């Protein structure tokens, strides 16, 4: 009986993980489509790169234990929303909002939560926009709504987050105060960089537009 029950749990878990992988792949494909469309039609690539990751069974179990969640498929599905994760790195902050709007406007995608740490950064300076959305996945047994966590950030935010992550792990969370202060300071530098780059782009676009306007109004020879 125990063996049969174990085999059943394993099968349910495998099915659940497959659902997450398919959901994640579908969202990644939708983002690829948006990227190609913007690039081909507007000569404006809004994505530097996309990465996907499925949480390992070990880290799902560890997180469930930390949060006191029952080791049961439905409980896990409801409580752990970052089993399927996608990170989208964009050149500019405006690209982040443009992509979020285009993706979440798709009729079969529902938005579960949005955490805008760009508008409202974490105390350590962390900035990114996190969306947990749900997308239907059609299996032979029927449709399942799969939650996928998508983190949108700029190149500058990504550089900061990966460095902060390395330091955090090196000190196992107990980062000395002086280092913490410098990390938060570096986050402000990254935010200023984003503003400066957007400003540069605006001035280049402004010039291109006024060049265009000049060429349109030039008197015929
Ligand atoms: P990993 O290794 O990237 O998967 P929760 O998801 O429940 O643990 P919370 O606060 O509800 O936590 O979710 P939140 O704030 O949306 O953040 C979840 C993820 O955002 C983290 O996942 C990180 O990927 C990223 N993140 C949030 N805060 C920071 C930060 O201060 N620094 C860095 N570098 N990343 C951050 P995990 O599971 O913690 O890590």
Q: So what's the pLDDT on residue 218?
A: 56
Instruction: Please tell me if the CB atom of residue 126 comes closer than 6 angstroms to any atom of ligand 1.
Output: yes
Mean per-residue pLDDT, 126-132: 98
Predicted local confidence at residue 219, as pLDDT: 54
pLDDT score, position 9 = 82
Average pLDDT over residues 164-189: 94
If pLDDT is split at 50, 70 and 90, which confidence band does 215 have?
low
What's the Cα-to-Cα distance from 110 to each of 75, 103, 130, rounded to whole Å?
A: 20, 10, 14
Q: Is pLDDT above 70 for 221?
A: no
Can you tell me the ipTM of this complex? 0.91
DSSP 28-43: HHHHHHHHHHHHHHHS
Task: Judge whether residue 136 has pLDDT over 90.
Answer: yes
Q: Spell 160-169 as b/e; 16+ CB within 10 A means b.
A: bbeebeeeee
Asked if residue 147 lies in contact with residue 77, where contact means CB atoms within 8 angstroms, the answer is yes
Supply the pLDDT for residue 2. Answer: 84
Say yes or no to pLDDT of 36 above 90: yes
Whether residue 116 has its Cβ less than 6 Å from ligand 1:
no
Best probe residue, ligand 1, of 151, 154, 165 (max atoms within 8 Å of C-beta): 165
Q: Is 103 exposed, middle or buried (0-12, 13-18, 19+ CB in 10 A)?
A: buried
Is the beta carbon of 115 within 6 A of some atom in ligand 1? yes
Prediction pTM value: 0.90
Is pLDDT at 207 greater than 80 in this prediction? no
Q: Residues 46-104: pLDDT tens digits?
A: 999 999 999 998 999 899 999 998 877 788 888 889 999 999 999 999 999 999 999 99
Q: Sign of the CA dihedral 36, 41, 44, 46?
A: negative
- Please give the number of the atom of ligand 1 that sits closest to the Cα of 124: 31
- Kindly state if the Cβ of 161 falls inside 6 Å of ligand 1: yes
Q: Which residues contact 113 (CB under 8 A, 6 or more apart)?
A: 81, 130, 131, 132
- Alpha helices for 105-176 (secondary structure H): 155-170
Q: What pLDDT score was predicted for residue 214?
A: 67
Computed over every residue of the chain, the mean pLDDT equals 91
Q: How crowded is the C-beta side of 11, counted as CA atoms within 13 Å? A: 6
Closest CA to 48 of 86, 91, 97, 85: 91
Question: Once rounded to an integer, what is the mean pLDDT over residues 11-16?
Answer: 86
From the list 131, 119, 132, the residue with the least C-alpha distance to 194 is: 119
How much of the chain exceeds pLDDT 90, in percent?
71
Map out the domains of the chain with their CATH numbers: 2-155 (3.30.460.10)
Catalytic (active site) residue 48: no
Question: In angstroms, how far is CA 90 from the centroid of its own chain?
Answer: 10
């Amino acid at each position: 009986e125990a063996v049969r029950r174990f085999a059943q749990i394993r099968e349910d878990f495998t099915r659940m993980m497959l659902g997450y992988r398919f959901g994640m792949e579908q969202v990644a494909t939708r983002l690829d489509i948006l990227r190609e469309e913007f690039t081909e039609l507007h000569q404006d690539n809004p994505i530097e790169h996309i990465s996907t990751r499925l949480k390992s069974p070990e880290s799902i179990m560890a997180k469930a234990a930390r949060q006191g969640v029952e080791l049961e498929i439905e409980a896990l599905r409801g409580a752990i929303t970052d089993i399927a994760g996608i990170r989208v790195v964009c050149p500019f902050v405006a690209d982040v909002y443009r992509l979020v709007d285009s993706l979440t406007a798709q009729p079969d995608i529902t938005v579960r939560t949005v955490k805008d740490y760009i508008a409202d950064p974490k105390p350590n300076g962390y900035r990114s926009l996190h969306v947990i959305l749900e997308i239907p996945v059609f299996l032979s047994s029927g449709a399942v709504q799969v939650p996928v966590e998508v983190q949108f950030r700029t190149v500058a935010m990504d550089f900061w987050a990966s460095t902060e992550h390395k330091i955090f792990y090196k000190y196992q969370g107990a980062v000395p105060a002086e280092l913490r202060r410098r990390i938060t300071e570096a986050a402000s530098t990254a935010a200023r960089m984003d503003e400066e780059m957007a400003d540069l782009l605006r001035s280049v676009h402004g010039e291109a537009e006024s060049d265009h306007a000049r060429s349109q109004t030039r008197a015929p020879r």
